[in-house]
Amino acid sequence: MSKQSGRTKIDIADVLNLPLETKSQEEAKEKKLSSFTEGRLKVYDSNINNVDIFLKLLSERVNRQLASSMVGCVHCGMCAESCHYVLARPDDPTMTPAYKADKIRRIFKRHMDWTGRIFPWWVHADIPRDDEDLNRLKNIVFGTCSACRRCTMNCPMGVDTALLIRLARGILTELGIVPEGVFNVSRDTWETGNQMAVSEEDYLETLDWMKEELQEELEIPEIDIPVDKKYCDFMYTINPREIKFDPRSIADAAKIFHFAGERWTMPSWGWDQTNFGLFSGDDRLGGFVAKNLYEAAVNLRARRIVISECGHGYRSSRWEGYNWAEYDQNIPSESVVLTLMRYIQEGRIKVDPSKNQEPVTFHDSCNVARSGDLVDEPRWILERTCSDFREMSPNRKENFCCTGGSGLLSMAEYKPLRMEVAELKAEQLKATGAKLVCTICHNCVDGLTDVIKHYELDMKVVQIIELVANALVIDP
């Protein structure tokens, strides 16, 4: 570690040399988990030629879109200042998007591009020599990039570094060369259908509990959180974090839906709209989760799927999941933000901004804003439900990541580096003077909470559903 600008700086070699932990993988083998024995959950095997498999999978997976990002970089450096890792560690060349992508590009050039095959020294082409090299690549693609796509937005050549990162992550996942947290969440998803291993019993009990709380609080015995009700206007899908840590967000949604006079339901299976496959690069896992959700809507004859506040869940369920699952999904889906906006526009619910007095700012989540273009709608709602809404700078598609994107929250070993680069986010939050930071992503709630705690900011994270529920005007 070294000291720079008053703060302790991490020695990046410590991050790049973090070893591969396989304790959880050994346990999965010993317990003969069905996902492992059926070959869905991949574990590390030191007795096979992992480099050869890596190269084979690379050849199979590079499509036209990926190839253009492999060959399109002219090393102009314009993306560097987009990356929060670079801005926080300006003297560290290993933080630049081009450096990270080049680690993958080099392999592509040596293995698949004729220039790299004939003149490897000329085009800096190279392949990993052994599992140590693959492990170092693991630490780069999982530990030094939150796949926020801010560099993608600012590349004149249209190079999508985050896409290359996801490609490498996906291949390493096939080899079991992954951070332990990534393995654990993948295991839980394969085994239980949701990424936090919530049992069906816990899920249904929590919904019941929230329903009873609402009935008591509002003194409305008929208020309901319906499960598996057919022919509804929409099926509501959530983040497992809402069951485990924040069930109040489900109660808030139910309260709003009730006063809007909505016909809605939640499914007993296929309710997890999050998708760790987006983060780990595992398309099979992504397809499994997305298909569960799509099929649940078909079985319930729902007219629409509404996705609760979650950035990567929105992206995965709304468009990426169709391809991973190879599923002809034709039930429309939308973020709950649009549902809430429609309720207010149509006068189905009334809101009073004076009920949310504290100054509030808005954090645009990477997957929702940069990848999903949902930027004006949350602001439209905040302007009508809060009396002091103020923008942070930069914002919208240029906003900085909460630092916990792309599954980094599950990878404890990279947290020191994440917290170091989070200084930029902390300054951005602090400059608003707001007491509340609203985000429409459960992942960002945890990412921002870590930043607030670490930098001791006088702020709290909230979500839009909470602010709308709070601003609701309930006629006697």
Return residues touching ligand SF4 (CB under 6 A).
Answer: 73-79, 82-83, 85, 97-98, 100, 145-151, 155, 157, 159, 161-162
Q: Which is nearer to ligand SF4, 155 or 459 (CB)?
A: 155
Q: Which is nearer to ligand SF4, 79 or 402 (CB)?
A: 79
Q: Which is nearer to ligand SF4, 149 or 187 (CB)?
A: 149
CA gap 244, 181 in Å, rounded: 18
Beta-bridge mates of residue 235: 265, 305
Q: How far is the CB of 144 from ligand SF4 (least distance, A)?
A: 8
Q: Which is nearer to ligand SF4, 155 or 424 (CB)?
A: 155
Q: Which is nearer to ligand SF4, 402 or 440 (CB)?
A: 402
Q: How far is the CB of 158 from ligand SF4 (least distance, A)?
A: 8
Q: Which is nearer to ligand SF4, 95 or 341 (CB)?
A: 95
What DSSP line would sit under 329-351, residue for residue?
A: --S-EEEHHHHHHHHHHTTSS-B
What DSSP line would sit under 286-322, residue for residue?
A: HHHHHHHHHHHHHHTT-S-EEE-S-HHHHHIIIIIHH
Q: Which is nearer to ligand SF4, 24 or 94 (CB)?
A: 94
Q: How far is the CB of 4 from ligand SF4 (least distance, A)?
A: 20
CA gap 147, 142 in Å, rounded: 9
Q: How far is the CB of 74 from ligand SF4 (least distance, A)?
A: 5
Q: Which is nearer to ligand SF4, 262 or 450 (CB)?
A: 450
**How many CB atoms within 10 Å of residue 348?**
16
Strand order in the sheet with 234-237: 264-265, 234-237, 305-307, 333-335
CA gap 439, 362 in Å, rounded: 6
Residue 337 tokens read as 């933000």
Q: How far is the CB of 358 from ligand SF4 (least distance, A)?
A: 31
Q: How far is the CB of 119 from ligand SF4 (least distance, A)?
A: 20
Helices 336-345 and 464-471, interaxial angle, to 10°?
20
Q: How far is the CB of 408 from ligand SF4 (least distance, A)?
A: 10
Q: Which is nearer to ligand SF4, 253 or 422 (CB)?
A: 422
Q: How far is the CB of 76 from ligand SF4 (least distance, A)?
A: 4
CA gap 238, 44 in Å, rounded: 32
**CA proximity to 249, closest of 436, 474, 453, 439:** 439
CA gap 305, 332 in Å, rounded: 6
Q: Which is nearer to ligand SF4, 88 or 465 (CB)?
A: 88
Residue 437 φ/ψ, nearest 5 degrees: -115, 120
**CA proximity to 69, closest of 98, 94, 95, 36:** 98
* Contact yes or no for 465/308 (Cβ under 8 A): yes
Q: Which is nearer to ligand SF4, 138 or 211 (CB)?
A: 138
CA gap 209, 37 in Å, rounded: 37
The upper half-sphere exposure of residue 78, i.e. CA atoms within 13 Å in the direction of its Cβ, equals 11
Beta-bridge mates of residue 333: 305
* Contact yes or no for 271/296 (Cβ under 8 A): yes
Q: Which is nearer to ligand SF4, 382 or 402 (CB)?
A: 402
Q: How far is the CB of 361 from ligand SF4 (least distance, A)?
A: 21
Q: How far is the CB of 147 from ligand SF4 (least distance, A)?
A: 5
CA gap 277, 270 in Å, rounded: 15
Query: What is the b/e burial string over 127-143, where b = at least 16 CB atoms within 10 angstroms of the residue's CB?
Result: bbeebebbbebbbbbbb
Q: How far is the CB of 319 from ligand SF4 (least distance, A)?
A: 19
Q: How far is the CB of 445 from ligand SF4 (least distance, A)?
A: 19
**CA proximity to 281, closest of 189, 404, 142, 169:** 169
H helix or E strand, kind and range, residue 421 = helix 415-421
Residue with tokens 């207010």: 344
